Amino acid sequence: MPTQPLVRIGARGSKLSRAQSGQVQRRIAAALGVPPEEAEVACPLVIISTTGDRVQDRRLQEIGGKGLFTKEIEEALLDGRIDCAVHSMKDMPAQLPAGLCIAASPEREDPRDAFLSHSAERLEELAPRARLGTASLRRQAQSLHHRPDLDIELLRGNVDTRLAKLDSGQVDAILLAHAGLKRLGLGHLSRSLIDPVERPPAPGQGALAIETREDDCNLAWVRALRHEPTMIAVTAERGALTALEASCKTAVGAHAWLEGGVLKLVVEALTSDGRERFRHTGETEIAQLADPAASARDLGLSLGLAVRDAAGDALGT
């Protein structure tokens, strides 16, 4: 048994974050040749409280953006208090602090949004003026685009908190990432799943981001965590995010998938009230390419810029 930690893993304290980080912890231990029963000693989880977790009464856009789920953890990484961080990829800003990188992403879980309700199977079946709980500007805008009559209720907090508000009748329906529900063993609660092409999820949804210092980006245990198809798809989606994140109040969805050697991508942005939606789709051959990730990023950037140009001044309103 190692006398000192080999890899210290930074993570948030939520039940979901602990579940996700525990999966990665076991993967890292295996890559280092550490027996499962010694994983906690060799690769301890270092729980770090983030501003995004502490401030629950406002939308992230109002208090600084989704980087508030990563800021304190990234500071610990830069300070050398941890050796890697495990994030939900959808929480990662387009730009990372200098000296850090997204070094790996394991195989992606289901990227779709899940619809949960006790009164309807699908969002389209909700009663007029039903209350939909969400803190996501994207989910709000996409839902209002299809159902402009809905009342949107701000709903932040962990998964248990959101489920409790649904069960107590404070809202009639909620939207959550199906991946998170599955990782918590709650996938059966989803009444239906949202078509990811019709309503693209957040860039990177369903994937995990393993963040390290740039100097550690290609260590052997890091490379062992990489699932190349996931990383290619996520790179395309984050390329679109990079092109569109100039407006922090823009509702952005992106979904990439591989069909054979072809990478396909749909990108959309909406006004917050859902009245205007701007979409572009594209694809690129990546089979046999020396650097498929670069081609994926270029596709994402080009579609994101096309959406931004089509929207003009409409986004962010």
Annotated catalytic sites, by residue? 91
| 3-state helix/strand/coil string of the chain | CCCCCCCCEEECCCHHHHHHHHHHHHHHHHHCCCCHHHHHHHCCEEECCCHHHHCCCCCHHHHCCHHHHCHHHHHHHHHCCCCEEEEEHHHCCCCCCCCEEEEECCCCCCCCEEEEECCCCCHHHCCCCCEEECCCHHHHHHHHHHCCCCEEECCCCCHHHHHHHHHCCCCCEEEEEHHHHHHCCCHHHCCEECCCCCCCCCCCCCCEEEEEEHHHCCCHHHHCCCCHHHHHHHHHHHHHHHHHCCCCCCEEEEEEEEECCEEEEEEEEECCCCCCEEEEEEEEECCCCCCHHHHHHHHHHHHHHHHHHHHCCCCCC
